[in-house]
Chains A and B, each alone.
Chain A
Amino acid sequence: MNTNRPWWRLDGFYIYAVLYLTFIYLPVLFLPLFSFNDSKYIAFPLKGFTLKWYEAMINNPPMLSALMNSIKIGLVVAILSTIFGLLAAKAVTRYRMPGRGPVVGFIMIPLVIPEIILGISLLILLNLADIPLSLLTVGFAHLLLCVPFSMLVLVSRMEGFDKSMEEAGLDLGENAWMTFWRVTFPIVLPGIIASLLLTFTISFDEFVLAFFLSSIDQTLPVYIWSSLRFPSKLPSTLALGATIFMASFIVVTFAEWVRRGGVRLDSTSGI
């Protein structure tokens, strides 16, 4: 690499990168911008600085409860789907089993079925089974959707490390359970974290399934959709959006810092 060149060198690739990032992030940046704008209407020119939409957000119990619902479902779904994904990934990558192909295909189906179809069929099924719609049914649908994503992430991580690592664990005197905790788990940990983040995000902003399968308790995307009809509610939604954006930015930055080895594992933690 030529270190004499300035970091902002103007070549085609650099321009492309800037355009790309602008295209992706500019719309997102309107969120915080208008959340501080002293006007009900999302339009230029900007009127003046205000924090009243954030105040309105805090004083909007239905919105906050929708937020809490989404966080609760997201956390439970992320943990459960990662556990299922991990077990499935271990089975698929480590054992010779009959019918492996069809089983994997079956788990992956929700990835390719349009969510609207999945939502309608689940609704029909739940009606037939006489199960009332609730946050539980939304969570169940999200689990169905998230397991294949989790499994994809973890299968690639499990395939990426050598099976003989686990054999070495057994060879050095640990049983299968302890080998899992002392060898497999720490090695796939980055994949587990990635899977938790991914599945939480998928569940958190999932709209179609939640729309079909929720009743009175709404998740955040459904609440936001329903509040679009009332222009006066929109700016506080922007404030919420900006807050969530900041929060996820902090979480992702922290996760990346952990992944880069900001926290070093002590050797003796292996004992």
Chain B
Amino acid sequence: MDHDAIISFQNVSKHFGKVKAVDHVNFDIQRGEFFSLLGPSGCGKTTLLRMVAGFETPSSGEVFLDGEPMSVSPPNRRPVNMVFQNYAIFPHLDVRGNIAFGMRKAGLTRSELDRRIDEVLELIKLPGYGRRGADELSGGQRQRVALARALIKQPKVLLLDEPLGALDKKLREQMQIELRQLQQQIGITFLFVTHDQEEALTLSDRIAVMSEGQVIEIASPSQLYESPGSRFVADFIGSMNFFEGEISSQEGSTVRIQTQTLGDLSAAYPAESSTVGQRVWVAIRPEKLLPVFTEPQSRTNSVAGQMGASAYLGDRSHFYVYLAQRREPVLVALQNLERMKDHLYQPNQSVWLQWALDAVVVLPRD
């Protein structure tokens, strides 16, 4: 175990009857990190979080918190606090009562407690809201109170269970930024659960992508997006076009790949994991395909197609391009950099897609 690890999952599994909610999970979370658990619903991310909080006990394995095994500690003895999905603000207490709830045994004097409450109210930008009742708060304010109630306890790790899911889009984006600033300001480790990949990318230092109880990949947001390690991750995070290919030759860390739809192309692929004749996925993000409407001079790293349906999204446009030899269309995303342009293209118009050499991600296929 790493000494800097604040949380360490060691071979943790959790079974509910025959369902393996969490299946042999092993990884560490570093002190001060903003760490996200990302995956579709039912992937085990919430169960993993609840095991840290103490609401679930592992069927096997152990969760270590700051080096201490946690399986013997009940939730009320763990140095972690949670922001619940629906905030769980106590309806019978006002904002100050909610924030003070966990401080009963802190041994503070009345005035010291009042000062601390004022501090966290300041921190969450709700000064003067102390006497509001729980039913007089908006969704965003309830979320802030839930944060304050947990943070005043100065937990070693703050656990957040999809806390932004109930907010509308604008407010959610604003809270994302504030949450990130808050975390950097106070330096507490955040363990954040979400099914929203955009949210995870925006907030996290590192993300663990989970599926069916297992951790598929742990990496930084940009690594996950730009260099995913598997087709599952490439597909789950953002949009991705996949093309079947086969390695035809290799030179150092560059390989030539033969594909039916894109022709021959070169791409970076670590020499140690490649062999000639290996079947691979060639993956290209929609925004890394550049459409041109006149036939390019060079045929390398470009492919001809026909325009399909398109959608205007304001800041960008999405459209489908049909290639010869391929049934399903390729998704292309284009920033709408110029104003007042007709961004909806004619269907069946000829188009050529170009890409840079380093835009291509090569993934194993079997």
Which A residues contact B (CB, under 8 angstroms)?
161-162, 164-165, 167-175, 179, 182-183, 186-187, 189, 265, 267-271
Contacts of A169 in B (CB 8 A): 101
Q: Which residue of chain B has its CB nearest to the CB of A174?
A: B76
Contacts of A189 in B (CB 8 A): 92
Q: Which residue of chain A has its CB nearest to the CB of B96?
A: A267
Contacts of A183 in B (CB 8 A): 90
Known: A165-B90, A187-B91, A267-B131. A170 touches B75 (CB 8 A): yes
Known: A164-B85, A187-B91. A171 touches B104 (CB 8 A): no
Overall SS of chain A's interface: helix
Contacts of B104 in A (CB 8 A): 173-174, 271
Is B127 engaged at the interface, CB distance under 8 Å to the other chain? no
Please, what's the 1-or-0 string for B153-165, where 1 marks a CB less than 8 Å from any CB in chain A? 1000000000000
Establish whether residues A170 and B74, one from each chain, have CB atoms under 8 Å apart when the complex forms. Answer: yes
Is B232 engaged at the interface, CB distance under 8 Å to the other chain? no
Contacts of A168 in B (CB 8 A): 82, 84, 88, 90, 149
Establish whether residues B86 and A172, one from each chain, have CB atoms under 8 Å apart when the complex forms. Answer: no
Contacts of A171 in B (CB 8 A): 53, 75-76, 80-82, 150
Is B105 engaged at the interface, CB distance under 8 Å to the other chain? yes
Report Cα–Cα, A171/B81, bound state, in Å: 6
Report Cα–Cα, A257/B30, bound state, in Å: 54
Is B94 engaged at the interface, CB distance under 8 Å to the other chain? yes
Establish whether residues A162 and B93, one from each chain, have CB atoms under 8 Å apart when the complex forms. Answer: no
Q: Which of A167, A182, A265 contacts B88 (CB 8 A)?
A: A167
Q: List 25 A-B contacts (CB under 8 A).
A: A161-B91, A164-B86, A167-B53, A167-B55, A167-B82, A168-B82, A168-B90, A170-B74, A170-B76, A171-B80, A171-B81, A172-B153, A173-B76, A173-B77, A173-B102, A173-B105, A174-B102, A174-B104, A186-B90, A265-B92, A267-B97, A267-B100, A270-B92, A271-B103, A271-B104
Interface positions of B from 83 to 117, Cβ below 8 Å from A: 84-86, 88, 90-98, 100-105
Q: Which of A164, A167, A170, A271 contacts B100 (CB 8 A)?
A: A271
Which B residues contact A (CB, under 8 angstroms)?
53-55, 74-77, 80-82, 84-86, 88, 90-98, 100-105, 130-131, 149-150, 153
Q: How far is the CB of A135 from chain B (nearest CB, A)?
A: 37
A to B contact number (C-beta, < 8 Å): 86
Establish whether residues B74 and A175, one from each chain, have CB atoms under 8 Å apart when the complex forms. Answer: yes
Report Cα–Cα, A189/B100, bound state, in Å: 21
Report Cα–Cα, A189/B90, bound state, in Å: 13
Report Cα–Cα, A182/B105, bound state, in Å: 14
Q: How far is the CB of B136 from chain A (nearest CB, A)?
A: 12
Establish whether residues B93 and A270, one from each chain, have CB atoms under 8 Å apart when the complex forms. Answer: yes
Contacts of A175 in B (CB 8 A): 74, 76
Q: Which of A164, A173, A270 contacts B84 (CB 8 A)?
A: A164
Establish whether residues A162 and B88, one from each chain, have CB atoms under 8 Å apart when the complex forms. Answer: yes
Report Cα–Cα, A271/B84, bound state, in Å: 21
Contacts of A187 in B (CB 8 A): 90-92
Q: Which residue of chain A has its CB nearest to the CB of B50?
A: A167
Q: How far is the CB of B148 from chain A (nearest CB, A)?
A: 12
Q: Which residue of chain A has its CB nearest to the CB of B106?
A: A173
Q: Which residue of chain A has its CB nearest to the CB of B53?
A: A171
Q: How far is the CB of B18 from chain A (nearest CB, A)?
A: 16
Contacts of B150 in A (CB 8 A): 171-172
Contacts of B96 in A (CB 8 A): 267-268
Establish whether residues A172 and B81, one from each chain, have CB atoms under 8 Å apart when the complex forms. Answer: yes
| Residue in A172, A268, A269 with the greatest tally of chain B CB atoms within 10 Å | A172
Contacts of B76 in A (CB 8 A): 170-175, 179
Q: How far is the CB of B62 from chain A (nearest CB, A)?
A: 20
Contacts of B81 in A (CB 8 A): 171-172
Contacts of B53 in A (CB 8 A): 167, 171
Q: Which of A161, A162, A172, A182 contacts B149 (CB 8 A)?
A: A172
Establish whether residues A173 and B153, one from each chain, have CB atoms under 8 Å apart when the complex forms. Answer: yes
Establish whether residues A268 and B100, one from each chain, have CB atoms under 8 Å apart when the complex forms. Answer: yes
Report Cα–Cα, A161/B90, bound state, in Å: 10
Q: Which of B88, B130, B153 contacts A164 (CB 8 A)?
A: B88
Contacts of B130 in A (CB 8 A): 267
Contacts of A170 in B (CB 8 A): 54-55, 74-76
Q: Which of B82, B101, B103, B131 contacts A182 (CB 8 A)?
A: B101
Q: How far is the CB of B249 from chain A (nearest CB, A)?
A: 58
Report Cα–Cα, A187/B103, bound state, in Å: 20
The 3 closest A-B pairs by CB, nearest first: A172-B102, A267-B97, A168-B88
Report Cα–Cα, A269/B97, bound state, in Å: 8
Known: A170-B74, A175-B76. A165 touches B88 (CB 8 A): yes
Contacts of A186 in B (CB 8 A): 90, 92
Q: How far is the CB of B130 from chain A (nearest CB, A)?
A: 8
Given A165-B88, A186-B92, 9 more A-B residue pairs with CB atoms under 8 Å apart are: A164-B85, A172-B150, A174-B102, A187-B90, A189-B92, A267-B94, A267-B96, A268-B96, A271-B101
Contacts of B77 in A (CB 8 A): 173
Q: How far is the CB of A176 from chain B (nearest CB, A)?
A: 8
Q: How far is the CB of A164 from chain B (nearest CB, A)?
A: 4
Known: A173-B76, A270-B101. A162 touches B94 (CB 8 A): no
Q: How far is the CB of A106 from chain B (nearest CB, A)?
A: 26
| Residue in B74, B75, B103, B104 with the greatest tally of chain A CB atoms within 10 Å | B75
Report Cα–Cα, A172/B53, bound state, in Å: 11
Establish whether residues A267 and B93, one from each chain, have CB atoms under 8 Å apart when the complex forms. Answer: yes
